[in-house]
Amino acid sequence: MDKLRLEQALAAGPAARAMTALPASALPDLARYRLAGARAGGPAILLANSLLDGMPGQRVLQPLQLGDGSLLLADLGWRAVTQPLPALQLPPQLSGQWLPWHPRWTLPDARQGGEGVVDAVDLAALRRRYPGRWHAGVFILQPPVAGLQPWPLLPPLSAQRHFAYALQWLLLGFCLLWRWRRWARSVA
């Protein structure tokens, strides 16, 4: 039910609010914002192994410096591995949704870092490289930067998968009960 509530909150977020800064002490609230005065705070991070509709690609992330000097990690969009990286020109006003950061499961030898092509973003290294006041989470641009495709705003596992898993266990329980009753009748 928690996943279902999260999916509903993502789908029905409040209308975008024109703000030049995110709330200073708040955690990501799934709300939509319009940020004016944001500029690139560092080079792009290409998050590898990001499948979209079965196609291999990369999520393009970038540290942003907001109008008040604070920093935020932004998801600019997705690109297929076969496509060249477009010029990452940020519009004067960024529209998007502020979400919690979802860490990725990676193998021990995975490339972690805060620049270039990585398998997982090393948030601690990113904060050491760009000192300042960082906002928690990630800002998903909607629409993405020109030349990139939108990344779907869904939790890693959908509520439907949880419901299907529960149904699977319920059916397995019924099968075991049926087998037990057959065994009990044959013994008696």
Report the pLDDT value the prediction gives residue 60, as an integer from 0 to 100.
95
Contact in structure between 71 and 133 (CB atoms under 8 Å): yes
Mean pLDDT, all residues of the chain: 83
Measure the CA–CA gap between 41 and 52, rounded to whole angstroms.
Answer: 27
CB 45 within 8 A of CB 74: no
In percent, the amount of the chain with pLDDT more than 90 equals 28
Residue 115 pLDDT: 87
pLDDT per residue over 94-105, tens digit each? 888 888 887 777
Three-state DSSP at 138 gives strand
pLDDT at 48: 92
Instruction: State residue 131 phi and psi, 5-degree precision.
Output: -70, 150
The more confident residue out of 20 and 97 is 97
Task: For residue 7, give the nearest of 142, 152, 154 by alpha carbon.
Answer: 154
- pLDDT average, residue stretch 41-58: 90
Residue 57: per-residue pLDDT? 93
How many whole angstroms separate alpha carbon 86 and alpha carbon 69?
26
Evaluate whether 141 touches 76 at the Cβ level (below 8 Å). Answer: yes
The predicted-structure confidence for 65-109, as pLDDT tens digits, reads as follows 988 888 999 999 999 999 999 988 898 888 888 888 877 777 778
Query: Where does the chain show beta strands of DSSP type E?
Result: 17-19, 32-36, 39-40, 45-47, 57-65, 71-80, 93-99, 112-113, 116-118, 120-121, 134-141
- What's the rounded mean pLDDT across residues 20-34? 75
Contact by Cβ (8 Å): 138, 61: yes
- What phi and psi, each to the nearest 5 degrees, are found at residue 64? -115, 145
User: pLDDT of 123-167, one tens digit each?
Assistant: 899 999 999 999 988 999 989 999 999 987 655 556 676 677 778
3 state DSSP class of 123 = helix
Average pLDDT over residues 48-65: 91
